[in-house]
């Protein structure tokens, strides 16, 4: 993903007491402006570059099998993962679990330049810094040769570290309300990994990466015929207890992990099961929370391992990151449930443009472009298809929405301000994608009333895409994206505009990270869509916040730009070699 070298400025302002005001203060303070950037160290302290791999020394490591692409389970076609009930459901055994982690969080390649080597992963990250750590809570499952417990995924080794072995009957109690074969998937963030380079803006980027990881995990599950839903009714305290991030003795002087989210994953093959309340009844709902009393019992058992320290010294400590993490901490519990899907094919199945490409091929080849050729264009039909992929159809029950939007328990808050440069059949200029058509009046009222809201020629009737202004937008896209040419040399770029202050006032300060999660999830979809279309994408974390708003006349904080993205014809760096991801494991080094 695109990088930046911000400048340093002294902090001002005192800390408000209201959590919502505190997260808004953080957001305002960490904006980039034409005359100054958000605070950062101003240079890269290479001697203390964080270790990209977290390990828990003393925790048993269980190696997962390294599977070749043609080994079972073989990846389905790329289009098939968007069509419910077309992908054969795999059992929850070690080989499918290995494939899940390969597509979700594993290494995808190594890059080599001279004597330097660095790994890439299936889940993208700002600056390739990878603050995100993954966990699973596995019950006792027939055919799964793993002890019940909490495992930390070690991507360099492609293995699972047993952090805590939980009694089988207690995990069974915890997972009793869920479909048969269900297990839990958790994500945490090491804020320091991003703060080392990006300073106070790092909290934004960590949450972008959580969104990308939610997307990569949901898509990985789809390749196996598994479903996934966020358990966002949980309090963050319960998430911390279950993932062990609150165990200060296990971290010692090592960098802590911020507990971000938990999700439940289950095979779709059978929703009938026995529960304590229903004898061989049909399960119709999935809760979005866990029994905190059972989690507390599990957390009181024996734990294994101590976290490794990632950097020798930290230099500047960015207190504002701790402050916004505390202010946006989710204390509430919502005991909601979502209806299981009706298992009907939805209308996204009409997109069958990639018959010869497997989902695994697309996932493995995904890269963040570092440069575009300034020439490649894409057909309007391809552009429209990409836009269709990010429409969540939130008028449907959650688990009946198109994958991966069935993982997301909320109505969309992110909409796209598009700089169209080279899309055959479309005039260059500014466009806008309204991801929830019911919000069109609110969006129009929040922007310059002189904008033209006209559906472009050839646009599908059910796609809420609008032409705003005609003209060459390349220089403007470059200017507001921190003068980065990739925003103008692409086929198109866009800013993700979030419904902001109103959403925070309505939902609470804990909604702030979720705005970034949604933007990262959206970006993950378009990363893969770009690869499938024969082009490439990259996220842009460096942009001038308020100048973006001024383009369409946004006043106040009704909308805020959270993330930029750009898609086009990549220019490969011939100086770099690409090496296989796990040759070091096969060599035993």
Sequence-separated (6 or more) residues with CB below 8 Å from residue 555:
446, 549
Residue carrying structure tokens 């688990």 = 399
> Is 74 exposed, middle or buried, given 0-12, 13-18 or 19+ CB atoms closer than 10 A?
middle
Q: What is the dihedral of CA 168, 169, 175, 178, to 10 degrees?
A: 110
Whether pTM > 0.85 for this model: the answer is yes
Mean pLDDT of the chain: 93
Amino acid 344: pLDDT: 52
Residue of 220, 227, 148, 232 whose CA lies nearest to 186: 232
Amino acid 11: pLDDT: 52
The span from the CA of 274 to the CA of 115, in Å, is 58
Question: Kindly report the CA angle at 31 between 27 and 33, in degrees rounded to 5?
Answer: 160
- Strands 423-424 vs 378-379: parallel, antiparallel or unpaired: parallel
How far the first Cα of the chain sits from its last, in Å, is 28
Under 8 Å between Cβ of 237 and 45: no
Sequence-separated (6 or more) residues with CB below 8 Å from residue 220:
99, 100, 101, 102, 103, 104, 122, 363
Mean pLDDT per 10-residue section of the chain, whose length is 589 residues: 47 76 98 96 92 98 97 96 91 97 97 92 96 98 92 98 97 96 98 97 98 98 98 98 98 97 89 39 87 97 97 92 98 96 55 73 96 97 98 96 97 98 97 97 96 96 97 97 97 98 98 98 98 97 97 95 98 90 85
Extended beta strands in 361-448, E state: 378-379, 414-420, 423-424, 429-433
Residue 275 CA, chain-centre distance (Å), reads: 33
Residue of 220, 564, 584, 207 whose CA lies nearest to 366: 220
Amino acid 491: pLDDT: 98
Under 8 Å between Cβ of 380 and 426: yes
The span from the CA of 210 to the CA of 518, in Å, is 9
Under 8 Å between Cβ of 548 and 430: no
DSSP code string of 234-272: S-HHHHHHHHTTT-HHHHTTSPP-EEEEEEEEEETT--E
> Is 93 exposed, middle or buried, given 0-12, 13-18 or 19+ CB atoms closer than 10 A?
middle
Residues 227-283 have pLDDT tens digits of 999 999 999 999 999 999 999 999 999 999 999 999 999 998 744 433 343 334 468
The span from the CA of 536 to the CA of 108, in Å, is 16
Under 8 Å between Cβ of 305 and 59: yes
Residue 561 CA, chain-centre distance (Å), reads: 17
Is 582 strand, coil or helix? coil
Sequence-separated (6 or more) residues with CB below 8 Å from residue 506:
none
Taking only Cα atoms into account, the Rg of the chain, rounded to an integer number of angstroms, comes to 23
Amino acid 276: pLDDT: 40
Under 8 Å between Cβ of 568 and 369: yes
Residues 468-524 have pLDDT tens digits of 999 999 999 999 999 999 999 999 999 999 999 999 999 999 999 999 999 999 999
Residues 146-189 have pLDDT tens digits of 999 999 999 999 999 999 999 999 999 999 999 999 999 999 99
Assign 3-class secondary structure to 277-321. Answer: CCCCEECCEEECCCCHHHHHHHHCCCECCEECCCCCCCCCCCHHH
Is 142 strand, coil or helix? coil
Look up residue 53 and give its two tokens.
């791999």
The span from the CA of 387 to the CA of 19, in Å, is 35
The span from the CA of 523 to the CA of 414, in Å, is 11
CA dist 524 to 53, 129, 348, Å? Answer: 22, 17, 17
The span from the CA of 213 to the CA of 184, in Å, is 15
The span from the CA of 519 to the CA of 515, in Å, is 6
- Strands 107-113 vs 423-424: parallel, antiparallel or unpaired: unpaired
Amino acid 6: pLDDT: 47
Look up residue 552 and give its two tokens.
């369409």
CA dist 582 to 16, 73, 108, Å? Answer: 48, 19, 9
Sequence-separated (6 or more) residues with CB below 8 Å from residue 27:
500, 512, 560
Amino acid 85: pLDDT: 81
Amino acid 426: pLDDT: 97
470: region left, alpha or beta (phi > 0 left; psi from -120 to 50 alpha):
beta
Q: Which strand (E) or helix (H) includes residue 286?
A: strand 285-287
Question: Kindly report the CA angle at 514 between 99 and 503, in degrees rounded to 5?
Answer: 155
Under 8 Å between Cβ of 110 and 119: yes
Is 228 strand, coil or helix? strand
Residue carrying structure tokens 């808004």 = 24
Residue carrying structure tokens 């971290």 = 251
The span from the CA of 537 to the CA of 530, in Å, is 6
């Amino acid at each position: 993903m695109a990088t930046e070298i911000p400048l340093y400025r002294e902090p001002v302002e005192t800390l408000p007491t209201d959590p919502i005001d505190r997260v808004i203060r953080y957001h305002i303070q960490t904006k980039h402006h034409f005359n100054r950037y958000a605070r950062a160290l101003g240079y890269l302290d290479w001697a203390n570059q964080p270790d990209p791999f977290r390990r828990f020394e003393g925790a048993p490591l269980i190696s997962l099998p390294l599977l070749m692409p043609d080994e079972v389970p073989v990846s389905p076609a790329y289009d098939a993962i968007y069509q419910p009930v077309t992908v054969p459901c795999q059992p929850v055994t070690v080989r499918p679990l290995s494939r899940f982690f390969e597509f979700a969080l594993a290494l995808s390649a190594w890059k080599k330049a001279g004597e330097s080597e660095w790994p890439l992963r299936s889940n993208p990250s700002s600056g390739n810094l990878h603050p995100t750590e993954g966990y699973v809570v596995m019950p006792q499952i027939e055919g799964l040769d793993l002890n019940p417990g909490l495992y930390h995924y070690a991507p360099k080794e492609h293995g699972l570290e047993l952090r805590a072995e939980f009694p089988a009957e207690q995990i069974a109690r915890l997972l009793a309300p869920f479909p048969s074969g269900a297990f839990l998937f958790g994500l945490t963030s090491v804020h320091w990994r991003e703060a080392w380079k990006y300073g106070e803006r790092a909290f934004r980027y960590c949450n972008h990466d959580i969104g990308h990881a939610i997307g990569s995990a949901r898509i990985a599950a789809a390749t196996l015929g598994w479903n996934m839903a966020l358990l966002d009714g949980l309090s963050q305290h319960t998430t911390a207890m279950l993932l062990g991030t609150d165990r200060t003795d296990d971290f010692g002087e090592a960098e802590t992990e911020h507990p971000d989210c938990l999700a439940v994953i289950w095979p779709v093959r059978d929703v009938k099961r026995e529960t304590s309340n229903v004898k061989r009844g049909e399960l119709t709902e999935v809760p979005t929370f866990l029994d905190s009393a059972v989690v507390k019992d599990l957390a009181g058992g024996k734990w294994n391992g101590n976290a490794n320290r990632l950097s020798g010294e930290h230099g500047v400590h960015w207190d504002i990151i701790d402050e916004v993490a505390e202010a946006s901490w989710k204390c509430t519990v919502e005991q909601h449930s979502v209806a299981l899907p009706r298992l009907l094919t939805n209308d996204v199945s009409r997109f069958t443009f990639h018959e010869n490409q497997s989902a695994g091929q697309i996932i493995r080849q995904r890269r963040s472009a570092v440069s575009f050729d300034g020439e490649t264009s894409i057909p309007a039909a391809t552009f429209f298809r990409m836009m269709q992929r990010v429409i969540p159809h939130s008028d449907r029950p959650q688990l009946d929405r198109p994958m991966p939007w069935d993982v997301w328990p909320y109505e969309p808050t992110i909409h796209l301000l598009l700089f169209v440069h080279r899309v055959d059949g479309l005039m260059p200029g500014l466009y806008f994608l309204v991801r929830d058509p019911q919000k069109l009046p609110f969006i129009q009222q929040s922007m310059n009333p002189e904008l033209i809201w006209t559906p472009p020629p050839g646009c599908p009737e059910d796609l809420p895409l609008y032409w705003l202004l005609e003209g060459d937008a390349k220089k403007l896209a470059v200017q507001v994206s921190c003068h980065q040419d990739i925003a103008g040399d692409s086929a198109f770029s866009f800013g993700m505009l979030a419904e902001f202050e109103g959403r925070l006032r309505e939902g609470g300060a804990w909604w702030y990270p979720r705005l970034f999660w949604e933007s990262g999830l959206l970006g993950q979809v378009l990363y893969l869509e770009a690869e499938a279309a024969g082009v490439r994408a990259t996220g842009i974390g460096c942009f001038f916040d308020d100048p973006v708003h001024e383009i369409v006349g946004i006043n106040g904080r009704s909308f805020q730009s959270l993330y930029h993205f750009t898609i086009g014809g990549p220019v490969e760096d011939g100086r770099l070699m690409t090496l296989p991801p796990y040759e070091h494991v096969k060599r035993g080094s």
